[in-house]
Amino acid sequence: MAENRLSRESSTYLKGAAHQPVAWYPWGEDAFRRAKELDHPILLDIGATWCHWCHVIDRESYEDPNLASVINENFVAIKVDRDERPDIDARYQQAVGAIAGQGGWPLTAFLTPDGKVFYGGTYFPPKDSYGRPSFRRVLLAMADAYRTNKADTLKEAEALHRALAEGRVSLVEEGAVNEAMLKESLDSLRGQFDPVNGGIAGQQKFPHPGTMEWVMARYHRTREEGLEKIFARTLSSMAKGGVYDQIGGGFHRYSTDARWIVPHFEKMLYDNAGLLANYVHAWQLTRDPLYRETAEGILAWSGEVLSDRQRGGYFASQDADVGLDDDGDYFTWTLDELKGAVNEDEARVLALYFEVATRGEMHHDPKKNVLFIDQAPEAIAKSIGLSSDRVRDLIASGKRTLKIARDQRPMPAVDHTIFASWNGMMITAALEAAMAFDREDVRLFALKSLHRVLSEMWSKDRGMWHALADGERKVRGLLEDHVYIVDALLSAYTATGDAVHLRNAEEIMVFTLAHFWDKAGGFVDIATDLHDNVGLTLKEVRRRPVEDSPYAGANAVAALCLARLHALTGNDDYRLHHDELMTAFAGEASRYGPVFAGTYHLAAELWIHPSAEVVLLGPRDDPRVRALQDTARSTYAAGKTVLVVDRHDAYIPPAVEPMLKTKEAKAGPVAFVCQGQLCSPPTSDPERLRTILEIGAPKS
């Protein structure tokens, strides 16, 4: 039997395939050397442990000994974990997308022995169906094409590779970052918005946290008509839908329908980090209790399921399913299961609240219901003759009881890998929640997690490691790990006022500028001088990620970080790089639009209309300074910085220096809110400071 080499891997996804009869290689020189020795094409599978269809193709095809023999005789097979290697995934998604018109997971690509794509797709079924050829037929056709028509196959693969490599080098498209560009994007977003269900109109619904952050930032500044509806309708519909886990908290990855009801059930740390920030900020802007309740639900779920409580750090994901034959069975309920778990009064109310009936939404088991909020407590109270308070009490007690009952079920597996970039996202969002909700427990765990990532995954000489799994550090030289941890450190500085976090943020940003900055402006996604295992083919395709896919673009996050670093230190090097980055991506961001470059649009909004810089004058340990600091931390203002200037501090923002001589500044601790070169009058009143932040500092 051919050797499967995955058993020694630390990736959950790769280890899960170690028993398969396919002679899998992990990504590396051994696989490419073997392909060249045999002159065989490469079969590349890219997937993830949380991916339902990856498990399906594993069971149907890669665990079939007959199909495995076809693969082993004709190909060198490589399996890649997309979470562990986002750099590989991004490049091959792009190549397969150019051939097939779409990507996704599992990604199935056919490569020349030097790693260039000549054909690909996503999931191939075991038999011809739905107009798709069987996997066996595809395998034999690709093997035959390589064997009998090798010259043309190599030529086509080389042409595609060249087009992708050259297309990503000349990235400076014409475009301007100005108010006209933002208004044009807003018009585009209004046209794509689903006014009934929120989100982007379509048959499936994905969350777009970066887009929501931009819309909220703009709404806070302008109060433009219709902006509140875009974020409020979207976030309310999601929170009430089945895409949100109504019993355990946290969001599933996306909805398969337009109403946010039936999800793909996997839960990702990065989705929940982006959405946690959304709901915290929406609550700060509107004080709608639904948003706080939803944010607290994300915190509860991530704290219980995705947290290493002992050592710090957030785990990567939770699977959709327990076995290959179920589809979200852990999360869904039959009417009989509901009635068996709660008392009669609770069952009566919950069946109305969550629309649980004898026929549910799940195709594989029509009795199974996805829980989503169908009726308000007041409507239920009216229909069954109870008080609204009594109905709310029954909903609350019933949900607690359902959680206890669900906890007895076999739980979908958790991938315990710690990814630096995803931890950076979650630490940032958790600190935002801690400051908004005064949650000291959340703050302490986020800081503990940040400390672990820095102590175990950062090296001053070699940068950030990407993954930590089973005590093993994997993959270095990825941009996203650096910029998301800088973002987390800047949030930690806001949350604590401890200058150590600011110094660490500067250290990592200086490192990132040294190793990732591109002469065309912006950052490349891999630093080839740091990366242990890229491969020549990957190096040639240069990527400067600005798009939010599947999470906030690293260059857009870097822009936000550079702006805050300049505000906090006055170092013009940060400002110059920030300006160059924003200009470099103007055309590309316009092409992606506000849905797929939402975070860049947020950065553009804050570049054109500068963020609030809160400057507090006074001793750090003065209770009056701390009261002003707490107010500044807990009040929404997109991209804001909070800087305490003690008399002996080296850096005082230029706009504040003339204010030091005012009688208010001399009299005691005061706060200024500056935007650009303009500052509000000084105030020592926390409520006045809150008002200034809520309405914005003077615009002229």
Does the pLDDT at position 649 exceed 60? yes
What pLDDT is attached to residue 161? 84
The enclosing domain of 684 has a CATH number of 3.40.30.10
Residues β-bridged to residue 469: 472
Q: What confidence tier does 533 reach under pLDDT thresholds 50, 70, 90? A: low
Structure confidence by residue, pLDDT tens digits, 315-361:
999 999 887 778 889 999 999 999 999 999 999 999 999 999 999 88
How far is it, in rounded angstroms, from Cα 62 to Cα 294? 40
Range with the poorest average pLDDT among 150-159, 218-227, 363-372, 381-390: 150-159
The domain that contains 385 carries what CATH number? 1.10.10.10
Is 60 exceeded by the pLDDT of residue 24? yes
Both tokens of 661, joined, read: 């001589």
In a domain, 127, yes or no: yes
Secondary element (H or E) of residue 47: strand 42-47
pLDDT band at 162 (very low <50, low <70, confident <90, very high): confident
Residue 90 clears pLDDT 60, i.e. is over it: yes
Going by C-alpha positions, the residue among 245, 215, 247, 255 that lies closest to residue 231 is 215
Q: Which of 120-129, 269-278, 592-601 has the lowest mean pLDDT?
A: 120-129
What is the reported pLDDT for 170? 44
Can you tell me whether residue 420 is helix, strand or coil? helix
Q: Does residue 312 form part of some domain?
A: no
Q: Is residue 402 part of a domain?
A: yes
Quick one: average pLDDT of 30-35? 94
Q: How many C-beta atoms surround the C-beta of residue 69 within 10 A?
A: 15
Give the Cα separation of 369 and 372 in Å (integer).
9
- pLDDT higher than threshold 50 for residue 284: yes
| Residue at 240 is within a domain | no
pLDDT band at 475 (very low <50, low <70, confident <90, very high): very high
Statement: residue 314 has pLDDT above 70: yes
Strand ranges in 203-295 using DSSP code E only, listed in sequence order: 254-255, 263-264, 267-268
Whether residue 298 has pLDDT greater than 90: yes
Cα-trace Rg, the chain: 26
- CA dist 126 and 138 (Å) reads 10
The chain-wide mean pLDDT, for the chain, equals: 93
CA geometry: angle 283, 286, 290, nearest 5 deg:
50
Predicted local distance difference test score (pLDDT) of residue 535: 61
Q: Which of 396, 411, 426 is the last residue of a domain?
A: 411
The pLDDT of residue 696:
66
Tell me what pLDDT residue 171 has. Answer: 46
The residue-averaged pLDDT of 274-284 equals 98
The number of folded domains in the chain is: 3
Residue 700 has pLDDT above 50, yes or no: no
CB atoms within 10 A of CB 310: 7
For residue 167, the model assigns a pLDDT of: 63
Assign 699 a pLDDT band (cuts: 50, 70, 90): very low
Predicted TM-score of the model (pTM):
0.95
Give 301's pLDDT tier (boundaries 50, 70, 90).
very high
Instruction: Judge whether 248 lies within some domain.
Output: no
Burial of 486 (0-12, 13-18, 19+ CB in 10 A): buried
Looking at 78-92, 281-295, 503-517, 645-659, which range is the least confident one?
645-659
In a domain, 35, yes or no: yes
Cα(517)–Cα(528) distance, rounded to whole angstroms?
Answer: 12
Q: What average pLDDT does range 5-11 have in this prediction?
A: 93
- Mean pLDDT calculated for residue range 165-173: 54
Helix (H), strand (E) at residue 453: helix 440-457
Comparing 126-130, 342-346, 477-481, 515-519, the range with the smallest average pLDDT is 126-130
Mean pLDDT of all residues in 290-312: 98
Domain termination site, one of 350, 377, 411: 411
The two three-digit tokens of residue 203, written as one number: 């048959």
What pLDDT shows up at residue 169?
39
Q: Is residue 645 part of a domain?
A: yes
**By the 8 A CB rule, do 81 and 16 touch?**
no
Question: Regarding predicted confidence, which is higher, 162 or 486?
Answer: 486
138 is a domain residue: yes
What does the pLDDT average to over 391-396?
97
Q: What pLDDT is attached to residue 2?
A: 78
Whole-number percent of the chain with pLDDT over 90:
80
Domain with 369 in it: 335-411
- Residue range 568-572: mean pLDDT, rounded: 95
Q: Which of 519-523, 528-532, 604-608 has the lowest mean pLDDT?
A: 528-532
Residue type, 632: A
3-state secondary structure 161-217: HHHHHHHHHCCCCCCCCCHHHHHHHHHHHHHHECCCCCCECCCCECCCHHHHHHHHH
Contact 216, 285 (CB under 8 A): yes
- What average pLDDT score do residues 422-444 get? 98
Domain stops at, among 169, 186, 203: 169
Q: Tell me, what's the pLDDT at 662?
A: 81
Per-residue confidence (pLDDT) for residue 322, from 0 to 100: 85
* Residue given tokens 């051919």 in the structure block: 2
Q: What pLDDT does 5 receive?
A: 95
| Structure-token match 């929406």, residue found | 282
